[in-house]
Amino acid sequence: MTSIESSSLPTEGPSETTENPDNLSSIPSKRKRVRTTESTWEHTRKPEGSEPERAGQKKDLVFYCKYCINPSYSTYVSTTFRNHLLKAHSIEVEDSKEHPVKKASTSLLKDAFAKAGHINTVQLQLREEQVLRNAFNRKAAIEALVQLVTVRNLPYNCSQWPELHALLMAVNYTAADLINTSHGSLQKLVSNSFFIHKDILRKKLQSSSSKLHLSADVWSAPNHKAFLGICVQFVEDTKETRQALLALSQLPGLDGPGSHSGAEQWKLLQPVLEDYGIWHKIGYVTGDNHGVNDVLCRALSEFMSTKGITWQAKHHRIRCHGHIINLIVQAFLFMDSKEAVQAACKQIEELDGASYDMDMIEAWKKSKGLGWRQMGPLGKVHNIAVHIRGDDYRYNLFQKRAGRVLGLDNDTRWNSWFLLLDVTLKKEEHVKWYQDKYYDSLKDDYLTPDDWLTLRETRNFLQPFWKITQLTEGYRATLDYSLFTMDVLHKHFNQAFDKYKGNQKLLGCLLASWYVFDKYYQLSDESPAYAAAIILHPSRRKAHIQKNWPKAWHKKVFNGVKKLWEDDYKGLLTVDSTPSLTPIVQPDEYDLLAQELDVVGTMPDADEYETYISQTPIPIDCSPLTWWLRDEQQERYPCLSKMAVDILSIPAMSADPERVFSGARRTISWDRMQLGASTIEKGECLKSWIRSGITSGLPAEVVEKYLEESAVGKAGTTTPSQEGIDE
């Protein structure tokens, strides 16, 4: 390696050109085309015969390669021509006019080296430079760039950030031209990648080993657009449970009449199912308790009937477990009687015709018109938390003493109330000190000893709900959690009624909460999938129902699950695709005789379901879904295991769309409000697929196309503009 004065980085001085606008004595009214370096034109020839001298919309001069004779090569884009010289003839030509982004990044890079103590950089020998170029994997770098931009919500105009270019060049200066600096290049790369990844996902969905379970929800975005998030959960052939965003489609209007209705949502869902070609594999639909989801399921049922498939809406409608828990606790926190709950339900039904199944919180807010203080001790805690946060001095004073401040509650998420209550009780000493210090301001919200007792009893009652929310909100929480945790709550309610029968205030809240709980507990009878998930759990089976449910319920439940087995799975043709590792040995005469005496194994006429449920529950070291996916279960119960995988892969909550919306909210930041709906959908889908690993690796054809088109995109000087308007 030879150390010399000149820098290996591009210099900032002007190169010699055929025409230099700075040397012109006058500026014509019409801007002249600035030619590239003389060295570029040295590799061209003049047009021959009928070959045009100029081409393109702007009538640019055409470069004819003098080395390409048959066939000839020509282009009117200088950067494309130089790229051709490098690829086809190993001739590297430098551009005379440096891009402003490249110029800025070079300046930043020189400054970074200077601050690091390397004032004079090193000019590498040609051989050593080639080693650096060979070590640089452009395809891998492009793939990493797409992942960085989509997953980390970077704006598409980051391709014009000098700092990003400087970072790449600091690692390996041969990466100077990795990112196309033209506006829209990254957005186009993401768009191209989206369609390839979508095709990969489509094939995986069509070949999945389980039914495809949907969840959908509506989101009002900060850019005043309404979106329908459609997610899918299924089991891959690799026996991995996967979640993916199918579409994030824009609804026709945010506040227009019927814009969020089930009929409008179906107009968006139907083309998605047809586009992916998966309508025949749809299993169950998990959604919250809004009436629009009932309408959506009925529309899907009618569509399936036109395809010759029986898909009963009520049987395949799964109610979001998290939403049910939310409603139960909201009733406990905000209502004090069954009559008040019924009145709230009536208000909701009169407002939009929904069959009770909507968030009660909006109607309940009207019953709180007298103020938070009317809620009792919990309302006082709310006012104290607001008082602490109402002044910077008080905020910092409390935080310094207690180590943290009280959180703020949220009307639509009950767990925020539980956290506020839990922190208040943990910091009871500091809250008492605070309310004493600011007694004049908080005298109407002063917590008495009886209030503290009520808060502790409230926290104790809500703790199982909090634990259940934690258990069922994760990716791995499936339908087997739903009915089992409802059984836990059933027992919890019975114990609470005995414990608080002398406390009229808490008893009224309990009754209101029980009314909501009992409603949804009974509604689980509409779908046999709930009970099937209990029975197909190897640690519960029929024994759980026989022990914990009233005997009057048994016959109906067992018959419903057995009918599901007989109608959809019994006698199902199965194909054993697992190759045997043991060589097949032809049986001899003795083996044939011995086989006739064999009593081990499943009898040909035995019913798999009856064989399974007749056995004693066993402990397992994994989830029930994983247990059924094991080879030994699939070999012993070839048809029943398929039913178990379909049932136990149903998500307990419709949380996937909520996660998508949280990510999209970070994408649509205040400075990216002009992003088009199509651009948002492509980015969020790609983000979902990359994070889940469902379509790992950027397809090589996408990278190749980007690298080829990047040269064309660099052909002129572009200026940054407002990004993301794709229409």
pLDDT surpasses 60 at 458: yes
Percent of the chain with pLDDT over 90: 37
Predicted confidence (pLDDT) at residue 110 exceeds the cutoff of 80: no
Minimum mean pLDDT range among 257-271, 534-548, 608-622 = 257-271
**Could you give the percent of the chain with pLDDT greater than 70?**
76
Q: Over the stretch 126-170, which tens digit does the pLDDT of each residue have? A: 677 777 778 777 777 887 888 888 889 888 888 888 888 888 888
For residues 121 and 267, which has the higher predicted lDDT (pLDDT)? Answer: 267
Q: Which residue has the higher pLDDT, 634 or 725?
A: 634
The 10s digit of each residue's pLDDT in 642-668 is 999 999 999 999 889 999 999 899 899
How does DSSP assign 204-267, residue by residue?
A: HHHT-SSPEEEEEEEEE-TTS-EEEEEEEEEE-TTS-EEEEEEEEEEPS-SSSTTTTSHHHHHH
Give the C-alpha separation, 622 to 713, whole Å. 53
Given a cut of 50, is residue 241 above it in pLDDT? Answer: yes
Name which residue leads in pLDDT, 434 or 475. Answer: 434
Gap between the Cα atoms of 461 and 321, Å rounded: 19
- Per-residue pLDDT band for 8 (boundaries 50, 70, 90) equals very low
pLDDT digits (tens, 9 = 90+) for 304-337: 999 999 999 999 999 999 888 888 888 888 765 5
Instruction: Find out whether the peptide bond into 619 is cis, omega within 30 degrees of 0.
Output: no
Is residue 278 over pLDDT 90? Answer: yes
DSSP summary character for residue 726: -
pLDDT computed for residue 696 by the predictor: 66
Q: How many CA atoms lie within 13 A of 351 on its CB side?
A: 15
Residue 271: per-residue pLDDT: 95
**Count of positions (residues) in the chain:** 727
pLDDT of amino acid 358: 42
Q: Is the pLDDT of residue 36 over 50?
A: no
Q: Is the pLDDT of residue 245 over 80?
A: yes
- Give the E-state strand segments of 591-660 in sequence order: none
pLDDT grade for 685, boundaries at 50, 70 and 90: very high
Mean pLDDT for all residues in the chain: 79
Contact yes or no for 613/537 (Cβ under 8 A)? no
* 688-to-133, 187, 679 alpha-carbon distances in Å: 33, 17, 14
